[in-house]
A and B are shown apart, each in its own frame.
Chain A
């Protein structure tokens, strides 16, 4: 069975500093990995995905994520955080032959001015 862990409920970072939101996964097969962001009272919005190829994936709003197969991780990063990045972030995993996307519990990011 697939599972996703986001070990931090909350991440606080000062504006202008780099940020990392952690994600680890467990699947039996090659994973497809996704990051989504949710702003208050809104649906989830897609940020980026890893399907195959280069382990460093670039996405929307200056975010990037690094796929590490040996550590089964897919951490979300941004070199310089903005206050407007404050939101709830979800990591998700899917397998091609299954249709299920399994989401992590979410990490709340607060960027302090």
Chain B
């Protein structure tokens, strides 16, 4: 049981390049999330997917797109990277049901540097 996996672990991009961050979970959770973590700012939600086939913007969606490929996979795409997108990116998943939202499980993160 791997939990939440993310690839790649590290990435360096030049300004204007594009890339996709991959995330997969094997816990059969219905909800998945993408966050970015910057020093002193905690985690900020970029996009989330409440269930397969749906996606919604979070607090900081500009410059990003997402795809919920199936129940397991949720990818984050940077179409034209900017230095302001230098950050650590975390994917998370959780189960949301009639009992309320449950805790999130986080992947190990992707450290992205844009030069």
With contacts defined as CB atoms under 8 Å apart, how many contacts are there between chain A and chain B in the complex? 59
Whether, in the assembled complex, A67 has its beta carbon less than 8 Å from a beta carbon of chain B, the answer is no
Known: A103-B42, A105-B40. A43 touches B107 (CB 8 A): yes
Q: Is the interface on chain A under 10, 10 to 19, 20 to 34, or 35 or more residues? A: 20 to 34
A94 to B33, CA, bound (A): 13
- Give the residue of A42, A46, A99, A105 whose beta carbon is less than 8 angstroms from that of B56: A99
| Closest A residue by C-beta to B48 | A99
Residues of B within 8 A of A90 (CB): 42-43
With a CB–CB cut-off of 8 A, which chain B residues contact A45? 106
Q: With both chains docked as a complex, state the minimum distance between the C-beta of B52 and any C-beta of chain A, in angstroms.
A: 14
A102 and B44 CA atoms in complex are apart in Å by: 8
Question: B42 touches which one: A99, A100, A106 (CB < 8 A)?
Answer: A106
Q: How far is the CA of A106 from the CA of B43 in the complex (A)?
A: 9
**Interface majority SS on B: helix, strand, loop or mixed?**
strand
Per the CB 8 Å criterion, the residue count for chain B at the interface is: 29
A51–B99 Cα distance when bound, in Å, is 9
CB within 8 Å of B: which A72-113 residues: 90, 94, 96, 99-106
B7 contacts partner chain A, Cβ-Cβ < 8 Å: no
Shortest Cβ distance from residue B66 to the other chain A in the assembled complex, whole angstroms: 14
Could you tell me if B100 and A32 are in contact, using CB atoms closer than 8 angstroms? yes
A39-60 vs B, Cβ < 8 Å mask (1 yes, 0 no): 0011111100101000000000
* Contacts of B43-76 to chain A: CB distance below 8 A: 43-45, 48, 50, 56, 58
Decide: A100 and B58 in contact? CB cutoff 8 A: yes
In the assembled complex, the Cα of A94 lies from the Cα of B48 at a distance in Å of 13
Interface residues of B (CB under 8 A from A): 4, 31, 33, 35, 40-45, 48, 50, 56, 58, 90, 92, 94, 96, 99-109
